[in-house]
Structure 1
Amino acid sequence: MGVKGLSSLLEDNRRISPDFHFRDSKLVVDGNNLLYLLYFSSNLDQNHGGEYLAFQAEVQAFFKTLADCGIKPYVVMDGGSGTSDIKLDTLLDRARGKVQKTHDAALTGKKVNILPPLTKHVFRQTLNELNVPMVKCFGEADCQLAALAKEWCCPVLSTDSDFYIFDLPGGLLHLDHFRWRAVETRRGIPCRRYTTSNFCTAFKIDRQLLPVFASLAGNDYVNLRDVKWARYLPAGSPKMKFSAANLVGLLSWLRARTDRTTEDTLTAVMKLMPSMSQQAQTEALKMLKTAMLEYELPSSSLRGFFSEGTVPPLPAGMLSCVPDWVRAPQARGELSGDVLDLLVHRRNKLQTQVERSDLRSSNLTSRPIRQVLYGLLLGQGGGEVEEVDRDGQELASVKVRPLVQGAAERLRLDSLPQVGLPTQSPG
């Protein structure tokens, strides 16, 4: 998810994100954001396989600093793409961009923020060794992460701009301003704390309109390129970047419609695009409403996991294709989110590595191993798997047949954990 341009707009606004010293509290941590920031801010190798021992030391130092300040972290991580394909185009666009970046890195040797292949594994393993509570969700983590922070009335630590929209009593501590290396142990960690109340006060907008604002601003679900929100900027507004002008113009337009319902507001948006066909408008409205639903926080399914070890239930859309035994190892981070994507979507988006694009993808080397994995997961009649990988400098999809032979012909996915390992004859 993410509201494009919002973080940049709020970067220098100290009224909305005042300075703060943080200590003696629970903290819900966006694990994916944190591992990326720790790796990329540490000047570690990105182009030749990674520096995992040095990365482990960074993770250890970060969580030691939290402990020294009386901060109890709870790390929440993404676990696959979930049950919906609504973000597929966005994910594929990001993958195409990464293919180009890896090509540039291979040619120039520059660091372009490509995460080495085993970084996430090292991160999870280090958290386990440090006894830091961690859970992996059954899809994107943002909503559950925010729901947990709301129930605990504690802050979220993240860089994701969606947390500017969620109603979080403890606010957002932006990772870019979380100065854990400059800690003052008695006072806490210097940072900046954002709250929606400060945002709404600064822009004179009703709190209930924030989800509408986020969906119209063009997040991962919807991008209304034909609407030029900058034309609604108040007279006398200072010069600002194009993206900021659009966001401030949208906020001004919404502020003028505070007497209208959400439905009226969305209908008014469609009138701003008279060239759009009725069918296209209907589809856009549907997408906008879907995007808004992402900001309605449910009761947290993670609280029980952290307090009592209760494994969260599978989403309804996974019940028919994901066996129940997958829940616990997935929540503990013992299974890759790729497993869920394979079972739900029959798709595997392969990791892009730094390598010469005039050579074939290195992922081809391990395809026979993946075919065995597909056979174990999907069994006989499970259908082909769509592998998404690079072909030269382009993103390409290819259908791969699962390999079902030997023991895999007799095994069933729902009983896979009960299968004993073969015994070896002595000598």
Structure 2
Amino acid sequence: MGILGLTTFMDNNTWIFEKVNLHDTKVVIDGNNLYHFIFFKYKVDFVHGGDYDQFAIRIKEFFSILHACNIQPYVVIDGGYEQDDRKFQTIHARMQQRLEMAMRLAKGHQEKLMPILAYETFRSVLLEIGVPFAVCDFEADKEIGKLANQFECPVLSNDSDFYILPLTAGFIPFGSVELVQKSRKRSGKKGFHYLSAKCYNVNNFAKYFRALEMDALPLFAAILGNDFVERNTFQSFFSSPGFRSCRGQLPFNFDERQTKMRKLIIWLMSLHTYDDGIDRILSTASTSGEKKSMLSAITKTKEAYSANETSCVFSLYAFFAKNITQPHIPESIRGYNGSSIPSWFICCHRQGNLPQKSLDIITLHRTFLRTQLEDPESKSSYHCCIKLRKYLYGILLSDDVAVLEKHNRLSAERKCGVEEYDRDGDHLGRNVVLPDDIAGCYGNLPKLSEIPDLPSPDREQLFRFVLDIPALHINRLSKELEIVLGIILFWIKNVQQNVKEYHLRSVLLCLIMLKIESYDTHDATGYEHDLIDEAILSMPVESKNEVSARLLRYCQSKENQIDSHLIHGFAQLQTCLLTAIHLNYILLCPFPNPCISRIFSGTFLYNFCLDLQRRRSPDLFIYDLLSKDSDLANVYQGLYDALMTNSVSERIFVDSMNKKRIKPHEAKNKKNEVRESGGKKQNKVRIPAKEEKKTKTRPRDVVNCSLTNRFNALTSCDESADENEEN
């Protein structure tokens, strides 16, 4: 949630905190806050779409430090939004703000934007390193507070709501933790490692409110403003003579802009009883409607900040301490049309084995597609995978829409579809997307309640059909690599614009680079080995290090102006990855879920793609880059050929590769040329006249000879072209 100005206030009054040495303890961690904190603290690159490989490394480092100090973390993550829609306006405003930030970032302005696959990366790492975590049904703050009190341990977060919640062992902001382990020896005992931190105890602040003490804090939060309160709710109160006349000395430090907070604290300190305060506030309302809004805001806020009283039947304590998932579903959690939600779905949701916001699609028939860094002049990057989302919605809404079918009340409105909020130009547009419940010749999609009863081969067949994954005929192809290649193929076939052949080449090189990087960092993948692994493992150490060094130079961020047109192609790949992973979740993972940190590195993709566009012979360049002494070049070419053979590349790609740059004074003498499609002037290469027609129809023929001979031929051609240019 968050309370306006409270974090700044606490930062200016750190004397309220107590210094602590954190070790040999449990901690309950606000998961959503944590992955934002790690990403931005360590300045992981987001300008190029997200360096998820570096993000994964930083997450592991964080938990490694906790482990060294014998700190046992329990990570709790937000679930869906409440069905009463009380936070809709707040969420909508934040998503519009995110869109505006993305657009400014695309134009070269300084902004911070969390990439859209960050949560999937975070979740994947938690599973990999065995950190216990759970996803709440709805917002997690109260459940985090309750669990921390049951464990008698502190909460770690940056959410200002925890300054108000009554936490027995206190609240430690991430920013107050020195993430460098220190050592201390105990007399006659073994030494220990610890982290220096500052802990906030709510009593240290509440004691200044004398008569009200703890009761004053929810009232303080309501009047200042939070996610449940519109900013003008208490405007009459702030304008009243009783509030404006507040004067007095306080032991706190305030910013110049915090005059309102200063007066509010003085006013709260003057109260004798809680009811007296409520009466004074309501007496300033000029209408009964305004009085009702004030009282509603106060009541909702008080309920939100009572940590030990929650309506949730899902016990995090039982989940973590006793491994009980409690499939019982309260009556309050139902589909938008009143349908029951299958217990398997709720169980998997709580275990973090489903898309984080999939519950919203069922209970609210609504989803916000978070804008990412992309081309402001192009269609939203989510547009290319709408077909996939329709199938996803078809399964998720199947039981809920069936409720309407019984009463013949089907329509093209939200009751039968999903209300999507997505970028439409420079604003957040609304569109109701009707689900597909029939997948072509596959037939009817299974209902959500039927998914667990489907045999794994049937679920795999459905996934293959929906993504249109062909038989790739690649030796030593693991299922993890197969699903990644399948998603890349889906991207190629459904991309709207802004994607060229060097985008695909860059993606394949990125897969190889990240594989090598995982071996360099001794990062066990936990997946079946494939042809890329075997090629890397067969390389001499010196050759592997040389290839690694050549590839890693593209991972260095540059401060130049970003080409949002180029990035838009990779943004579309991210939306395809996200949606396909979500579908795989819903089908209970017939394929191993792709590990984003081993697929997508935004800085590498951007820099390599930019460099590739300048190369006269990209194939030869890549061949030299991957080392002539290894099988990596053959592996790359095999993957590339398989994807091109199974794509509609002649229609999708603008073939800007292997074109020879022509000197200006020679342009008039070049009669037999192949031009890159499109209206702009492009690079050219001479070809025999009789081959011109064939080249236009099949620009990517695969030569039936060894890869070495093929590259030797390229070298000869390139040298001949250079000689012709010199003549």
Q: In 2, are the aligned partners of 1:20 and 1:193 still within 8 Å (CA)? A: yes
1:347-396 CA-to-partner distances (Å, cap 9, x unmatched) read: 01112111122221111111111011111111255601100011111111
What is the TM-score normalised by the length of structure 2? 0.55
Give 2:85's aligned residue.
Answer: 85
Partner of 1:183: 181
What SS is found at the alignment partner of 2:20? strand
Deviation of the 1:25 alpha carbon = 0.6
CA contact (8 A) 1:387 1:398 kept: yes
Question: In the TM superposition, what whole-angstrom CA distance separates every residue of 1:309-361 from its partner, at most 9, and x where no partner exists?
Answer: 21144443214442211122111211112210000000011121111222211
Aligned counterpart, 1:265: 277
Q: For 1:217-256, what aligned pairs fall within 5 Å after superposition?
A: 217-222=224-229, 223=231, 224-226=233-235, 227-228=237-238, 231=244, 233-236=246-249, 240-241=254-255, 244-256=258-270
Could you tell me which residue of structure 2 aligns to residue 413 of structure 1?
Answer: 448
Confirm or deny that 1:317 pairs with 2:329: no
Structure 1 contact 81–139 (Cα < 8 Å) conserved:
yes
Structure 2 counterpart of 1:194, one-letter code: Y
Question: Where do residues 104-119 of structure 1 align in structure 2 (5 Å cutoff)?
Answer: 104-108=104-108, 110=110, 112-119=111-118
Q: Which amino acid in structure 1 is aligned with residue 449 of structure 2? A: D
Instruction: Indicate yes or no: 2:171 matched with 1:172.
Output: yes
* C-alpha separation in 1, matches of 2:271 and 2:331: 37
Residue 399 (structure 1) shift: 0.9
Structure 1 residues 326 and 239, CA gap change in structure 2 (3 angstroms): closer
Q: What residue is the counterpart of 2:7 in the other structure?
A: 7
CA deviation after TM superposition for structure 1 residue 236, in Å = 4.8
In structure 1, distance between residues paired with 2:195 and 2:329: 36
Residue 366 (1) aligns with residue 359 (2): no
The 1-side partners of 2:217 and 2:274 are apart by 14
Cα offsets for 1:209-232 (capped at 9, x unmatched): 211221222111113351328735
The code of the aligned residue for 2:451 comes to L
RMSD across aligned C-alpha pairs, in angstroms? Answer: 2.3
The amino acid of 2:454's aligned partner reads: V
> Could you tell me whether the CA contact under 8 Å between 1:154 and 1:169 is conserved in 2?
yes
1:195 aligns with 2:195: no
After the TM superposition, which of the residue ranges 359-368 and 279-288 deviates more from structure 2?
Answer: 279-288
What is aligned with 1:69?
69
Whether the 8 Å CA contact 2:2–2:161 is kept in 1: the answer is yes
Letter in 2 for 1:252: I
Return 379-388 or 353-362, whichever deviates more. 379-388
**CA separation in 1, counterparts of 2:265 and 2:294?**
20
**Residues 30-69 of structure 1: pairs in structure 2 closer than 5 A:** 30-69=30-69
Of 292, 314, 321, the match for 2:302? 292
Distance 1:260 1:48, change over 3 A: closer
**One-letter identity of the residue aligned with 2:436:** L
SS in 1 for 2:12: coil
The equivalent residue for 1:344 is 363
Give, in whole Å, the separation in 2 of the partners of 1:246 and 1:286.
22
Of the two structures, which has the highest relative contact order with CA contacts closer than 8 Å and spacing of 6 or more?
A: 1
Displacement after TM superposition at 1:185 (Å): 3.6
Instruction: Go from structure 1 to structure 2 and tell me whether the alpha carbon gap of 1:266 and 1:259 turns closer, same or farther (over 3 Å shift).
Output: closer
Residue 307 of structure 1 is matched in structure 2 by 321
Could you tell me whether the CA contact under 8 Å between 2:394 and 2:445 is conserved in 1?
no
How many angstroms apart in 1 are the aligned matches of 2:359 and 2:352?
12
- Judged with a 3 Å threshold, the aligned counterparts in structure 2 of structure 1 residues 232 and 20 are, in CA distance, closer, same or farther, namely farther
Query: Structure 1 residue 3: deviation in Å?
Result: 1.3
Contact residue 321 and residue 343 of structure 1 kept, 8 A: no
CA distance in 1 between counterparts of 2:75 and 2:21 reads: 20
Paired residue total = 420
3-state SS of paired residue (1:291):
helix
Decide whether the 8 Å contact of 2:208 with 2:269 is kept in 1.
Answer: no
Describe the shift of the 1:239–1:162 C-alpha distance in structure 2 as closer, same or farther (beyond 3 A): closer
Aligned residue number for residue 213 of structure 1? 220
Shift of 1:24: 1.0
Q: Are the equivalent residues in 1 in contact too, given 2:23–2:194 (CA < 8 A)? A: yes
Contact 1:99-1:393 at 8 Å conserved across structures: yes
- Contact 1:103 1:354 survives alignment (8 Å): yes
Change (3 A) 1:409 1:358: same
Deviations for 1:175-196, whole angstroms, at most 9, x for unmatched residues? 111111x321436111110001
Q: Which amino acid aligns with 1:367?
A: I
Farther off after superposition, 309-318 or 211-220: 309-318
Larger radius of gyration: 2
Deviation at 1:78, TM superposition (A): 0.7
Assess if the C-alpha contact under 8 Å between 1:27 and 1:154 holds in 2.
Answer: yes
Per mean C-alpha deviation after superposition, the further-off stretch among 49-58 and 405-414 is 405-414
Residue number in structure 2 paired with 1:127: 126
User: Tell me, what secondary structure is at the counterpart of 1:157?
Assistant: strand
TM superposition shift of 1:260: 4.2
Secondary structure in structure 2 of the residue aligned to 1:273: coil
Question: Match for 1:404: what amino acid?
Answer: D
Matched residue SS, 1:15: helix
Residues 72 and 388 (structure 1 numbering): CA distance in 2 closer, same or farther, change over 3 Å?
same
Matched-pair contact (CA < 8 Å) for 1:376–1:404 = yes
Rate the CA distance shift 1:315–1:175 in 2: closer, same or farther, 3 A.
farther
The aligned counterpart of 1:396 is 429
| Corresponding position of 2:685 | none
Aligned-partner Cα distance in 2 for 1:309–1:61: 26
State the alpha-carbon separation in 2 of the partners of residues 185 and 366 from structure 1: 52
Check whether the contact 1:221–1:288 (CA below 8 A) recurs between aligned residues: no
Secondary structure class of the residue paired with 1:108: coil
Q: Indicate how the Cα distance of structure 1 residues 135 and 201 shifts in structure 2: closer, same or farther if over 3 A, else same.
A: same
Q: Does the 8 Å CA contact 1:69/1:185 hold for their aligned counterparts?
A: no
**Partner Cα distance (2:222, 2:297) in 1:** 9
- Residue range with higher mean Cα deviation, 135-144 or 231-240: 231-240
Supply the AA of the counterpart residue of 1:189.
Answer: L
Alignment of 1:353 with 2:360, yes or no, is no
TM-score normalised to the size of structure 1? 0.92
Give the whole-Å Cα distance in 2 for the aligned partners of 1:410 and 1:7.
48
Distance 1:255 1:40 in 2: 38
For 2:55 and 2:205, locate their aligned partners in 1 and report how far apart those are by CA, in whole Å: 35
What is the percentage of aligned positions where both structures have the same residue? 29
Residue deviations 1:4-29 (CA, integer Å, cap 9, x gap):
11111111323311322211110000
> For each residue in 1:30-84, what CA deviation from the matched residue of structure 2 results, as whole angstroms up to 9, or x when unmatched?
1111100111111221022211111111111111110111100000001121333
Establish whether residue 139 from structure 1 lines up as the match of residue 169 from structure 2.
Answer: no
Residue 94 of structure 2 aligns with an amino acid whose one-letter code is: R
